[in-house]
C-alpha cells in the first residue's frame, strides 16, 4: 500500500503541476516500485511457503526499517537552524525546485530578491514579492514533523512484518508430506 501511495503521490504532483523536477519524481517512483517489488516477494514467499524468498524478504525489510527509522528520527530531531540550513542548501542546488517553490508559494528569491534574477512567481508583475525563506520556514517544521511521524509509524509496521516473517518462516508447510520432516 505504501508503494502504491508513493507512486500515486508522484503522479498527482506531476498531474497538478506542483512538481516539475523529473529527478525528484523519478526517485519517488523508483522507491515506490522497489517497495512494491519487495512486497510482491514477501507475498509470493508466504503463499508458496518458500523459505529463501521469505528470508530475503525479511532481510530487505529489516534494511528498509533501519533506513526509514533513521530518516524519520532525523526529520523529528532537526531544530529550526538546521531546517533553515537544509532549505538553503536545497534552494541553491536545484533550479527546478526553486522554480516550483516560487510559482507555488508566490515568492521570489531566498532571503533577498535581486532584480537581475529570474522569478516564476505571479507577484513579480506588480513588483511586490516576498522572499521565499520565511514562507518555507513557516511550513518546514510542520512538514518535517508530519513526515517523521508517518515514517516512524510505518517503520514500526515494518519491524512487525520482519518479526511475523521470522515466525512464519520457521513453521512447517502444512501442505507438505509430514513424513518428509522425519
How do residues 108-122 score in pLDDT, each as one tens digit?
878 877 767 777 777
pLDDT at position 92, please? Answer: 79
Q: How far apart are CA 65 and CA 155, in angstroms?
A: 5
The torsion angles phi and psi of 78, rounded to 5 degrees, stand at -70, 130
Average pLDDT, the chain: 78
Percent of the chain clearing pLDDT 90 (strictly above): 4
Which pLDDT belongs to residue 10? Answer: 65
Residue with cell 516477494: 41
DSSP 130: B
pLDDT tens per residue, range 24-35: 667 777 887 888
- The sign of the dihedral angle between the CA atoms of 10, 89, 91, 73 is positive
What pTM, to 2 d.p., does this model score? 0.69
Question: In angstroms, how far is CA 86 from the centroid of its own chain?
Answer: 16
Q: What is the pLDDT of residue 182?
A: 47
Q: What angle do CA 13, 17, 21 make, to 5 degrees?
A: 70
- Residues in the chain with pLDDT values less than 50: 182
What is the structure's pLDDT at 60? 92
Q: What is the pLDDT of residue 59?
A: 93
For residue 24, the model assigns a pLDDT of 63
Amino acid at each position: 500500500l505504501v508503494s502504491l501511495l508513493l507512486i500515486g503521490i508522484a503522479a498527482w504532483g506531476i498531474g497538478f503541476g506542483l512538481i516539475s523536477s523529473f529527478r525528484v519524481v523519478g526517485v519517488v517512483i523508483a522507491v515506490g516500485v522497489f517497495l512494491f517489488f519487495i512486497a510482491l516477494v514477501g507475498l509470493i514467499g508466504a503463499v508458496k511457503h518458500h523459505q529463501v524468498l521469505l528470508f530475503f524478504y525479511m532481510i530487505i525489510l529489516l534494511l528498509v526499517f533501519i533506513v526509514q527509522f533513521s530518516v524519520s528520527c532525523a526529520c523529528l530531531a532537526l531544530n529550526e537552524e538546521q531546517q533553515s540550513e537544509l532549505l538553503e542548501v536545497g534552494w541553491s542546488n536545484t533550479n527546478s525546485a526553486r522554480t516550483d517553490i516560487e510559482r507555488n508559494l508566490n515568492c521570489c528569491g531566498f532571503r533577498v530578491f535581486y532584480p537581475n534574477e529570474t522569478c516564476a512567481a505571479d507577484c513579480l508583475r506588480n513588483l511586490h514579492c516576498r522572499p521565499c525563506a520565511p514562507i518555507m520556514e513557516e511550513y518546514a517544521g510542520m512538514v518535517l514533523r508530519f513526515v517523521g511521524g508517518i515514517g516512524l509509524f510505518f517503520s514500526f509496521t515494518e519491524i512487525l512484518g520482519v518479526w511475523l516473517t521470522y515466525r512464519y518462516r520457521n513453521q512447517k508447510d502444512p501442505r507438505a508430506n509430514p513424513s518428509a520432516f522425519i
